[in-house]
């Protein structure tokens, strides 16, 4: 009897230990979030371990031996994958298997990992299946994969993936002997638009434009975003409506209607486009992209809101421009520019008034490399106009100050100012510092600007001009009559001098209408308190006419070509009493 009692106590203790172990095991499984299925082939039973009730939304403890309960939880499309990898492991005598599948209820992702145990004869004894929710991980992986190929703002292909797809297109086109058109599209003046509506609405505008382009996405056309406001379309075997020209015209027609932002603001905008075609404009994706970007720049320079197609002349001009950019930078570092001076005279008395300072770029032999009309626009595009302009002003005032000290003549100097210079925050301070450094009379300094100075930030430019005028500096409007200038326009501009363009001077004595207009300009300027300078006076008849109608000052080849510092000194000496 005692032996029996001892055995019962021992079995009870072992059972309690097993129950405790099972309790700990279940707690661990619930803590780590795994679901388990333990299948015993010997007893023909299967048991669930872990938070199954929470996972499936119902109270369960055991499942049928054939595992069909789990099979029924899976998405229909993934049942076959489960059957072949997990459910039928014993048929293939596999010991381990793992698969990622979707569930039927929430369409979430789970990872199922199984291990099989066989006896010495190879018959299955046990199967342990571990299941965990990997929805979050899959979601993150999907997002990473999406971002690897797509632009996060627009959903279009991103730059890197687009280049890969374009290269594939080019390789296939080379085999099939067809072309690939590459269309670059850029929103005109996007920075101004962004500044006016704000970054968030700027992003909204970009998204809206991308929706237009997304409509062209197809098997033979891919669309990507290449930069802030730059988009790109590759067209395989282009023809008819599937061509860059047709797509651009379609896009431009769509943009005739304003884009309405979520804050109800209407935004009118245009786009420019550049097109390069494989294989003529490039033998691979990178060359094609480079040349399409060059052509896009050409479209921008030509007035925007237009499409431009690749030509070798454009590429040659670009290469020349790049070479000139580098030479400009080298010349700035070496201070290799020189200042020339074109004299200005009082129209009535013939007395030397002063000069316009003109930038020249000589080579090592003293020959001019190119005209300012060629290199100044390049300097404005790449930003080197800022250091160049600063050097011109400093060097000019230094030379003029030297002449003033030596010859005691109150000469006026006019210096051309780029709109880019005027927009710099420290421009006024820089001018003031130079005036103080050389003790230069502000009234003897004239800064010549063109209408383009007022295009971008009108209010800012007006404020800076007014500050300069308060210092005593004179402001001259250059090239009057070549842009959008009108007589009514003058009354609102804070200027002191009006420079009449040579086109008026050339035709004033040969064309009666031009003569009447020129006379009216001079008369109106006088009534507004402005002085006038006639540019490009080359004949005595032109000078006589300008003097007759009351033009204040004369400048041109008749009275003096642009000359070196040495030659201008000689001119000054001849003017001395």
Residues of the chain with pLDDT under 50: 1, 3-12, 14-31, 484
The C-alpha atoms of residue 545 and residue 286 are separated, in whole angstroms, by 59
Do the beta carbons of residue 36 and residue 128 sit within 8 Å? Answer: yes
User: Collapsing DSSP states into helix, strand and coil, what is residue 446?
Assistant: strand
The C-alpha atoms of residue 37 and residue 114 are separated, in whole angstroms, by 9
Position of tokens 């060059």? 294
Token readout for 232 is: 């790109």
Quote the pLDDT of residue 57: 57
Do the beta carbons of residue 180 and residue 236 sit within 8 Å? Answer: yes
Quote the pLDDT of residue 21: 45
CA 80 to chain centre: 49
Quote the pLDDT of residue 233: 95
HSE at residue 431, side-chain half, CA atoms within 13 A, is 27
Position of tokens 């009449």? 500
What's the CATH architecture for 150-310? 2-Layer Sandwich (3.30)
Pick the closest to residue 258 from 266, 250, 249 (CA basis): 266
Phi-psi region of 76 (alpha: psi -120 to 50; beta: other; left: phi over 0): alpha
Angle between helix axes 385-407 and 372-382 (nearest 10 degrees) is 120
Quote the pLDDT of residue 247: 94
Quote the pLDDT of residue 60: 60
Do the beta carbons of residue 123 and residue 106 sit within 8 Å? Answer: no
Q: What is the pLDDT of residues 484-533, one digit of tens each?
A: 455 556 677 889 999 988 888 888 888 888 888 889 889 988 988 999 99
Token readout for 421 is: 């210079």
Quote the pLDDT of residue 338: 93
Q: Which CATH number fits the domain 331-575, given the four candidates 3.20.20.80, 3.20.20.450, 3.40.50.2300, 3.30.565.10?
A: 3.20.20.450
Q: pTM for the complete prediction?
A: 0.56
Do the beta carbons of residue 50 and residue 22 sit within 8 Å? Answer: no
Quote the pLDDT of residue 369: 72
Q: Considering only the top CATH level, what class is 25-138? A: alpha beta
Pick the closest to residue 497 from 455, 435, 553, 442 (CA basis): 553
The C-alpha atoms of residue 494 and residue 173 are separated, in whole angstroms, by 60
Quote the pLDDT of residue 575: 84
* Strands 553-554, 338-346: pairing kind: antiparallel
Domain ranges of the chain: 25-138, 150-310, 331-575
Q: What is the CA radius of gyration of the chain?
A: 40
User: Collapsing DSSP states into helix, strand and coil, what is residue 219?
Assistant: coil
What contacts 237, CB < 8 A, 6 or more positions away?
173, 176, 178, 179, 180, 220
Pick the closest to residue 380 from 320, 456, 325, 462 (CA basis): 325
Does a cis peptide bond (omega within 30 degrees of 0) precede residue 279?
A: yes
Q: What is the pLDDT of residues 356-390, one digit of tens each?
A: 999 998 877 777 777 788 788 878 877 889 999 99
Buried b (16+ CB within 10 A) or exposed e, 442-457: eebbbbbbbbebbebb
């Amino acid at each position: 009897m005692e032996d029996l009692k001892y055995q019962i106590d021992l079995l009870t203790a072992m059972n309690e230990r097993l129950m405790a172990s099972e309790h700990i095991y279940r707690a661990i499984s619930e803590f780590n979030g795994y679901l388990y299925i333990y299948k015993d082939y010997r007893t023909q039973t299967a048991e669930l371990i872990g938070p199954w009730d929470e996972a499936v939304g119902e109270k369960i403890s055991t499942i049928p031996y054939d595992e069909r309960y789990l099979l029924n939880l899976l998405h229909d499309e993934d049942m076959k994958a489960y059957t072949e990898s997990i459910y039928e492991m014993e048929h293939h005598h596999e010991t381990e298997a793992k698969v990622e599948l979707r569930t039927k209820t929430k369409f979430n992702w789970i990872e199922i990992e199984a291990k099989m145990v066989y006896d010495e004869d190879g018959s299955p004894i046990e199967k342990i299946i571990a299941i965990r929710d990997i929805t979050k991980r899959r979601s993150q992986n999907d997002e990473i994969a999406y971002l690897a190929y797509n632009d996060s703002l627009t959903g279009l292909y991103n730059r890197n993936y687009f280049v890969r797809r374009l290269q594939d297109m080019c390789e296939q086109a080379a085999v099939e002997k067809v072309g690939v058109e590459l269309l670059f599209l850029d929103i005109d003046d996007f920075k101004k638009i962004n500044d006016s509506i704000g970054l968030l609405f700027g992003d909204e505008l970009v998204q809206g434009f991308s929706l237009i382009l997304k409509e062209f996405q197809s098997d033979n056309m891919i669309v990507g975003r290449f930069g802030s406001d730059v988009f790109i379309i590759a067209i395989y075997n282009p023809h008819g409506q599937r061509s860059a020209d047709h797509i651009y015209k379609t896009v431009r027609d769509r943009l005739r209607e304003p884009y309405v932002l979520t804050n109800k603001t209407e935004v009118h905008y245009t786009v420019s486009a550049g097109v390069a075609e494989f294989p003529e404009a490039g033998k691979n994706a990178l060359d094609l992209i480079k040349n399409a970007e060059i052509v896009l720049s050409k479209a921008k320079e030509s007035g925007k809101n237009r499409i431009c197609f690749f030509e070798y002349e454009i590429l040659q001009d670009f290469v020349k421009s790049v070479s000139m950019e580098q030479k400009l930078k080298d010349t700035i570092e070496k201070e290799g520019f020189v200042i020339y001076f074109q004299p200005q005279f009082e129209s009535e008395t013939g007395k030397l008034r002063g000069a316009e300072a003109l930038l020249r770029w000589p080579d090592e032999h003293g020959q001019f490399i190119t005209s300012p009309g060629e290199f100044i626009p390049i300097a404005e595009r790449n930003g080197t106009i800022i250091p160049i302009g600063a050097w011109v002003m400093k060097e000019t005032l230094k030379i003029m100050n030297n002449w003033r000290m030596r010859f005691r003549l109150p000469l006026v100097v006019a210096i051309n100012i780029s709109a880019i210079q005027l927009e710099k925050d420290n421009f006024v301070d820089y001018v003031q510092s130079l005036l103080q450094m050389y003790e230069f009379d502000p009234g003897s300094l004239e800064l010549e600007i063109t209408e383009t100075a007022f295009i971008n930030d009108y209010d800012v430019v007006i404020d800076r001009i007014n500050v300069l005028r308060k210092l005593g500096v004179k402001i001259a409007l250059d090239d009057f009559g070549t842009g959008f200038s009108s007589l009514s326009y003058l009354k609102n501009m804070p200027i002191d001098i009006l420079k009449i363009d040579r086109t008026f001077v050339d035709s004033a004595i040969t064309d009666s209408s031009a003569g009447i207009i020129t006379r009216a300009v001079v008369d109106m300027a006088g009534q507004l308190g402005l002085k006038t300078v006639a540019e490009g006076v080359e004949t005595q008849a032109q000078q006589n006419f300008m003097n007759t109608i009351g033009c204040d000052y004369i400048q041109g080849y008749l009275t003096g070509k642009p000359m070196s510092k040495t030659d201008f000194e000689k001119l000054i000496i001849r003017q001395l009493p």
